[in-house]
Amino acid sequence: MKLRENSQEVLQDFSRKPPSYDALMIAITEQLGKLDEKSHVIDEQHDIINKKSHVIGEQQKQIHLLEEQLRRKRQQ
């Protein structure tokens, strides 16, 4: 039994005949690998977003403190 080269070949063949068990397993394995890669990229992006959110939060605190200082100076 010949193994399919990739999931694209399985999809093309599926329109003509049901894929073999081996072909389905190859396609599933490929898709799981792609999902793992995408998950890793998403995790990295999530970390970047968290870091930027933290920086923004710190900047907002600093802005608030500066606004308070400005109000006090204006009241003097």
Task: Compare 3 and 6 and report the one with higher pLDDT.
Answer: 6
Q: What is the pLDDT of residues 13-37, one digit of tens each?
A: 666 777 788 888 998 999 999 999 9
pLDDT score, position 4:
52
Q: Is residue 10 within 8 Å of residue 24, measured between CB atoms? A: yes
Alpha carbon distance 56, 62 (integer Å):
10
Question: Per-residue pLDDT for 39 more than 70?
Answer: yes
- Predicted confidence band at 1 (pLDDT cuts at 50, 70, 90)? very low
Which pTM was predicted?
A: 0.58
d(CA 2, CA 75): 84
Q: Which residues contact 19 (CB under 8 A, 6 or more apart)?
A: 4, 10, 13, 27
Residue 4 in contact with residue 22, Cβ under 8 Å? yes
Identify the pLDDT of residue 73.
94
